């Protein structure tokens, strides 16, 4: 079984700043980390590979720096790593990103299962799994909070309102997962050392040949959340008195 896991390098959210000219996150000024939910996607892929005697490929789209997250994936147990990069891909929205990933996946060959994080902490759109599933014409399962691997299919459970719903799909498929789905394994020292020496395949647009790379999305505004420097405690002799004071504070701040 051939399994693909999509990994994304994202800026550390505590260091995010916005470029006022491009209205994009200035990634050069923030530390880069592996998107948290992608780590759980990788664990899901590695678990499935162990059950099905499969092979895991990790794929990331980005500059040379994103090879760090690919090597993290190799250190955890992935067999192969691929990076997609090209100057023409810079600033791609989710539609173009999905189109580029589709081209890369088709170039690499057929995969029985594709895993990715349900959400990324930078763009926060949760769109890639659905778009890729449609573009590749394969079944799509999203927001999995638990996964059960069966002979020819995957069954997931996901939050739905105040409850949960169960869904299943046969291979080939793409599945996005949340951080509730599993506990990722640690990277061993042996795995870390082997990952440092591993070769990473690089694909650019001379190989993929994507012609229309104009992102249709337009950003009207983008800003980093204001950092609150001061907190306060609500005092009172009784719980009722504390609640009354809190309501008054929130009302004065027009928060309620």
Q: What is the pLDDT of residue 249?
A: 85
| CB-CB contact of 43 with 184 (8 Å) | yes
What is the arithmetic mean of pLDDT over 158-168? 93
Q: Domain check: are 176 and 245 in the same one?
A: no
Q: What is the pLDDT of residues 181-192, one digit of tens each?
A: 999 998 889 999
Q: Domain check: are 76 and 126 in the same one?
A: yes
Q: Domain check: are 164 and 45 in the same one?
A: yes
Q: Domain check: are 138 and 182 in the same one?
A: yes
Q: Domain check: are 241 and 138 in the same one?
A: no
Q: What's the longest Cα–Cα distance across the chain?
A: 71
The domain total for the chain is 2
Proportion of the chain above pLDDT 90, given as a percent: 59
User: pTM value?
Assistant: 0.80
Pairwise pLDDT comparison (254 vs 97), residue with the higher score: 97
Domain containing residue 76: 2-208
Alpha-carbon span 230 to 228, nearest angstrom: 6
Alpha-carbon span 100 to 136, nearest angstrom: 12
Helices of type H across the chain: 36-52, 67-76, 94-108, 128-136, 189-197, 205-208, 239-252
pLDDT level of residue 22 (50, 70, 90 thresholds): low
CATH number at residue 58: 3.40.50.620
Q: What is the pLDDT of residues 96-141, one digit of tens each?
A: 899 999 999 999 999 999 999 998 887 778 889 999 999 999 999 9
Work out the mean pLDDT of the chain and round it to a whole number: 88
Q: What is the pLDDT of residue 125?
A: 84
Q: Domain check: are 231 and 203 in the same one?
A: no
Q: Domain check: are 237 and 147 in the same one?
A: no
Bridge partners, residue 33, by sequence: 10
Q: Domain check: are 114 and 237 in the same one?
A: no
Vertex 243 angle, CA 239 and 244, to 5°: 115
Asked whether the predicted pLDDT for residue 23 surpasses 60, the reply is no
Contacts for 216 with CB less than 8 Å, ≥ 6 apart? 93, 95
Q: How far is CA 217 from CA 91, 92, 93, 194, 242, in A?
A: 11, 9, 6, 40, 47
Q: What is the pLDDT of residue 133?
A: 96
Q: What is the pLDDT of residue 88?
A: 85
Asked whether the predicted pLDDT for residue 14 surpasses 70, the reply is no
pLDDT level of residue 1 (50, 70, 90 thresholds): very high
Q: Domain check: are 202 and 230 in the same one?
A: no
172 prior amide bond cis, ω within 30: yes
């Amino acid at each position: 079984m051939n399994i693909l896991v999509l990994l994304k390098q994202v800026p550390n959210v505590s260091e995010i700043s916005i470029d006022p000219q491009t209205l994009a996150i200035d990634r050069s000024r923030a530390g880069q980390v592996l998107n948290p939910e992608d780590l759980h996607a990788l664990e899901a892929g590695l678990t499935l590979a162990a059950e099905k005697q499969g092979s895991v490929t990790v794929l990331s789209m980005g500059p040379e720096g994103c090879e760090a997250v690919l090597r993290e994936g190799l250190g955890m147990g992935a067999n192969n790593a691929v990076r997609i990069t090209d100057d023409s891909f810079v600033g791609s929205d989710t539609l173009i990103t999905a189109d580029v990933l589709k081209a890369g996946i088709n170039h690499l060959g057929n995969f029985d299962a594709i895993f990715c994080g349900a959400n990324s902490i930078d763009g926060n759109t949760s769109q890639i799994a659905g778009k890729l599933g449609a573009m590749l014409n394969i079944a799509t399962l999203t927001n999995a909070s638990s996964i059960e691997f069966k002979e020819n299919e995957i069954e997931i459970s996901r939050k739905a309102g105040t409850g949960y719903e169960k869904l299943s799909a046969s291979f080939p498929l793409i599945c996005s997962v949340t951080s509730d789905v599993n506990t990722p394994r640690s990277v061993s020292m042996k795995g870390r050392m082997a990952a440092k020496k591993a070769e990473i395949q690089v694909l650019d647009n001379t190989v993929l040949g994507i012609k229309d790379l104009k992102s249709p999305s337009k950003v009207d505004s983008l800003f980093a959340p204001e950092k609150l420097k001061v907190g306060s405690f609500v005092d009172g002799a009784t719980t009722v008195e504390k609640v009354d004071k809190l309501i008054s504070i929130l009302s004065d701040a027009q928060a309620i």
